[in-house]
Structure 1
Amino acid sequence: MAFIRATGKHRGQSRARRRAGVNAAGIAGLAAVGVVGSVASPALAANDEASTVTDTGLTQAIDLGGSLAATVGDQAEAQQAEAERARAEAAAKKAAAEAKKRADEAKRKAAAEKAEREREAKEAKERAARKAEAKRAALNGYVAPVDNSYVSTGYQTGGGMWSSGSHTGIDFHAAQGTPVKSVAAGEVVEAGDGGAYGNNIVIKHKDGTYTQYGHLSSIGVSVGQSVTSGQQIALSGSTGNSSGPHLHFEARTGPDYGSDMDPVAYLRQHGVKI
């Protein structure tokens, strides 16, 4: 009985065909690998570019961070520099104000010292002028024999107290021990006991006139001594023929008793106010 080989889709392939199929498959596989490789190569390249872009972006981000830090640092340095400049400016202003204050104080002190020197110079000049005037007055001027006094008994007043029947001088009110001054410059011609006048002094002046000072408690000059106008020569008292402390004052044309003249007129003639 003859058998006929059935044919159909389930029939196995011959070796040749199987080998050819394998070879075809291998070729196809290689082709596929080549295709895949070809396709994969651009993909890998793309991946590399993406990686490069990513790396570049990260690098840019890092660079931006560094720039920001640098900017913040610069701002901090600028602020610190501004603060230091402000402090330096404030210190300079303070120093200038203190220097001005010291200068103003020095100027005020110099002005005060100048004013004081001028005042002292003025006072010294005034003292010199007064001294010169006093010197002229001592040589030529006249003063009252007792300061801040008045005439208590006038010239030629009558009464039994005087041997001549009238008062040959004037009496100045003066308590015991009141300073008595020479009315003008001159020379002492008598100093001692004058009888009824008690302790007395007689002075001859440059114009040839004389003055007498009586009833003194003490005498401070001696005969022959030169005196100046206003010089203290004695102290008032109540010696001799006296009823109480006072100064008996006479103006005379000569040194002796009896040459008397009006003492008030005499003093007024020489500028003394009585």
Structure 2
Amino acid sequence: MAFTRATGKHRAPGRLTRAGAKAVGIATLATTGVVGALASPSVAADAETPSVADTGLTQVIAIEQDLADRVGAQAEAQQHQADAAAKKKAKAEAAAKKKAEAKKKTALRAEAKKKARAAAEARAADAEEARESAARAARSAERARLGAYRLPVAGTYVSTGYKSSGSLWSSGSHSGIDFHASSGSSVVAVGAGTVVEAGWGGAYGNNIVLRMTDGTYTQYGHLSSIGVSVGQGVAAGQRIGLSGSTGNSTGPHLHFEARTTPSYGSDMDPIAYLRAHGVSL
């Protein structure tokens, strides 16, 4: 007859410790997912089958579930952080792009203002140069006008030369030159100057004396009429009177003198004087 092991209160049923059951459950779940045989058939038959509570399987599943929940929550949190970081990065990039565009626009506006300023300054410089050029031209024209000399009577010729001798002159010689001119011919200033004498001049009849801009003096005698007054400024070619035959004269003509002073006796060669000032005769 076979030997049987005694049962009942005389022998406590074999139990797995909580740690052992937990280890077994973890190993089993990690491989096949099924709790395998804990011993050989003879041992299994010899020992009582432990309960689920005694093996710790429930705790293992709970732990795994909690771990999975934690992993999922962590992954979700990480994804949320990643999404937030991506949004923040995109926002920062958009802000940086907007700032760069604003900076570029500001730079373009500044460059446009700079170019506009440079163009305005260039235009102002050109205008100033044009004004200065015009002023220079006007001054040059005025100098030319003032410096230009001409014959006192247009289209005429010298009828009596300088230092001609004869009884007609008290000094015994001619102190100027005579220009052929019919009575009433226009007499003009040979150059620019100021009237220092305008009136009766004795033997010269009606006469005018001008102080020229170069400090010399010119005289116009035997005039039929006088058209200027003392202190008046005249330009080269400006009419100052009309030719005639007043004073010590034998007929209509213009007596012309060049002097170093306004007085009689300071005369110089009128032809040489006019030629020195560019007049051909």
The TM-score with structure 2 as length reference comes to 0.50
**What letter is aligned with 1:206?**
T
Give the whole-Å Cα distance in 2 for the aligned partners of 1:216 and 1:135: 29
The equivalent residue for 1:176 is 183
SS in structure 1 of the partner of residue 240 of structure 2: strand
The equivalent residue for 1:33 is none
- CA 1:260–1:182 in 2, change beyond 3 Å: closer, same or farther? same
**What letter is aligned with 2:166?**
G
Q: Give the one of 139, 145, 150 matched to 1:138.
A: 145
State the shift of 1:241 in Å.
0.1
Do the aligned residues in 2 keep the contact of 1:138 with 1:230 (CA within 8 Å)?
no
Give the whole-Å Cα distance in 2 for the aligned partners of 1:142 and 1:135: 13
Any unmatched runs of 5+ in structure 2?
1-133
The equivalent residue for 2:233 is 226
SS in structure 1 of the partner of residue 198 of structure 2: strand
State the shift of 1:137 in Å.
3.4
5 Å-filtered alignment, 1:88-127, equals none
Do the aligned residues in 2 keep the contact of 1:137 with 1:229 (CA within 8 Å)?
no
Find out whether 1:159 has 2:166 as its counterpart: yes
Give the whole-Å Cα distance in 2 for the aligned partners of 1:213 and 1:137: 23
SS in structure 2 of the partner of residue 265 of structure 1: helix
The equivalent residue for 1:75 is none
SS in structure 1 of the partner of residue 275 of structure 2: helix
5 Å-filtered alignment, 1:173-252, equals 173-252=180-259
**What letter is aligned with 1:137?**
A
Find out whether 1:267 has 2:281 as its counterpart: no
The CA RMSD over aligned residues, in Å, is 1.6
State the shift of 1:138 in Å.
2.6
Larger Rg: 1
SS in structure 1 of the partner of residue 207 of structure 2: strand
**What letter is aligned with 2:190?**
V
Do the aligned residues in 2 keep the contact of 1:217 with 1:235 (CA within 8 Å)?
yes
Give the whole-Å Cα distance in 2 for the aligned partners of 1:139 and 1:258: 27
Give the whole-Å Cα distance in 1 for the aligned partners of 2:145 and 2:278: 14
**What letter is aligned with 2:266?**
S
Give the whole-Å Cα distance in 2 for the aligned partners of 1:245 and 1:170: 14
Give the whole-Å Cα distance in 1 for the aligned partners of 2:145 and 2:223: 23
**What letter is aligned with 1:167?**
H
SS in structure 2 of the partner of residue 160 of structure 1: coil
Deviations 1:104-127 (CA, angstroms, capped at 9, x unpaired): xxxxxxxxxxxxxxxxxxxxxxxx
The equivalent residue for 2:115 is none
State the shift of 1:166 in Å.
0.2
The equivalent residue for 1:258 is 265
Give the whole-Å Cα distance in 2 for the aligned partners of 1:207 and 1:231: 17
SS in structure 2 of the partner of residue 266 of structure 1: helix
Any unmatched runs of 5+ in structure 1?
1-127
State the shift of 1:268 in Å.
0.2
State the shift of 1:136 in Å.
3.7
Q: How many pairs were matched up?
A: 145
- CA 1:162–1:139 in 2, change beyond 3 Å: closer, same or farther? same
